[in-house]
Amino acid sequence: MILDADKLQEIFQSLKRHKLRTFLTGFGVAWGIFMLVILLGSGQGLEKGILSNFSGYASNTIAVYGGVTTKSYKGLGTGRSVAPSSRDLQILRNQIPEIKLLSPKIQLTAGGSVNYKDQSGSYSVEGVTDDLFKIEQFDIKAGRLINSRDEAKSRKVAIIGKKSLEQLFDNKNPIGEQIQISGETFKVIGVFDKDASGFMNYESHILIPASTMQQTYSQKDEIRQFILIPKEGISSKVVENKIRQFMANLCQFDPTDRRALWISNIEEQFKQFNSLFSGISIFLWGVGLGTLLGGIVGVGNIMFIAVKERTREIGIRKALGATPRAVVSQILLESIFITVLAGFVGILLGSGVLFGIGFIMDKMPSSGMSFFIDPQIDLGITLSAMILLVAFGALAGWIPSRQAAKVDPIEALRYE
């Protein structure tokens, strides 16, 4: 079945004679592929948006949050606060050799009032160790990060985020400057830029060494949050279970009490999201293909009508020596041509709409965490859609073409 110049001319002449019918047929197919592109592109935008909120973390990161007991355990009642001490974390690290890196995140309970000369603001002040910067990705804009020597000597040093840089220093170089954090003087040693993530928004954070936090502010030795990653080749789920069991024994709570200890496991969340997006993708393909099939059925119906209207023409062609194969190929090519042309228009329109949505969203101000980013359909899916269109177009024209091939020339010439 070769599409030569004569056949192409015949197709154009046939479509030109029935402009409205051709347009309505093509519109059904174009709308179907347009909806398929929009649905799949939107699904990818949703997936990118949600997964981007976990960027900046190792894929096997585990974050642990102390909670409140809701189950009685060994005679102890409910409502007890669960928070390990610094010594407990050291024991945890020693007892679970599968842990590679671990850093506490100690919130300043005295408040986050920060002053620089005549400027002031309220920020989230956290005590951390240098392990944090090996677990999470911090983009250091100036100076340096907190290191192990700062932690060992409990130095009064701080690194600041971009909001405090703007509000306190008017975006001027703050390295070496002295700031007051709840009445205590700290030296600024670095400026970092880190976007919002699945765990927190660091833009309004100021970080200091964990040991400095505890010594300077005489805080109760309770660590409400810590973050860690397992060693290479160790499943984060294995480490999560060991942490829960160890902490249950250490802090005396029921291991099945999920509210006593909250654990966020990025590796497990990735698996859940991947399963979720696979299901969403299958659903969107189903809806899109259903819409597309509606258009293809329309093509088939129109081709049946076309065959009926051209019965006399087909009879004349057969009487003049046209083979059944030639008749079949003519009808098939018309069906495929309409389907592919309309499908190509639908893909272009759908891709254009997705590009427009992405462009508008890029220009909109960021509000931290985003759940919809850069909706687009990739080349592989586009090629798959085109192959489907060719297959569906051929299917839509096959049955009508077989009917046309069976037309008896004598009967056809009598057909009015």
Return the H-helix or E-strand segment holding 229. Answer: strand 225-230
β-bridge pairing 157-160 and 124-128:
unpaired
Domain ranges of the chain: 5-54+271-414, 68-99+227-259, 106-222
pLDDT at 101: 92
Tens-place pLDDT, residues 248-280: 988 889 988 989 999 988 877 777 777 777 887
In this prediction, residue 8 has a pLDDT band, given cuts at 50, 70 and 90, of low
In this prediction, residue 6 has a pLDDT band, given cuts at 50, 70 and 90, of low
Question: Is the model's pLDDT at 352 over the cut of 80?
Answer: yes
Note whether 340 and 11 are within 8 A (CB): no
In this prediction, residue 198 has a pLDDT band, given cuts at 50, 70 and 90, of very low
Question: Is the model's pLDDT at 415 over the cut of 50?
Answer: no
pTM: 0.64
In this prediction, residue 139 has a pLDDT band, given cuts at 50, 70 and 90, of confident
Return the H-helix or E-strand segment holding 276. Answer: helix 266-309
Question: Is the model's pLDDT at 305 over the cut of 50?
Answer: yes
Q: At what angle do helices 324-363 and 5-17 cross, to 10 degrees?
A: 70
Q: Look up residue 54 and give its two tokens.
A: 């976990």
Q: Is the model more confident about 160 or about 339?
A: 160
Long-range CB contact pairs, 168-177, < 8 A, 24+: 168/114, 168/116, 168/119, 168/120, 168/121, 169/116, 169/119, 173/142, 174/116, 174/142, 175/142, 175/143, 177/116
pLDDT at 416: 47
Q: At what angle do helices 236-251 and 266-309 cross, to 10 degrees?
A: 140
Question: Is the model's pLDDT at 239 over the cut of 50?
Answer: yes
Question: Is the model's pLDDT at 58 over the cut of 80?
Answer: no
Q: Look up residue 228 and give its two tokens.
A: 């860690």
Tens-place pLDDT, residues 379-409: 777 777 777 777 777 776 676 666 666 655 5
For 225, half-sphere exposure in the C-beta direction (CA atoms, 13 angstrom radius) is 13
CA distance 256 to 243: 13
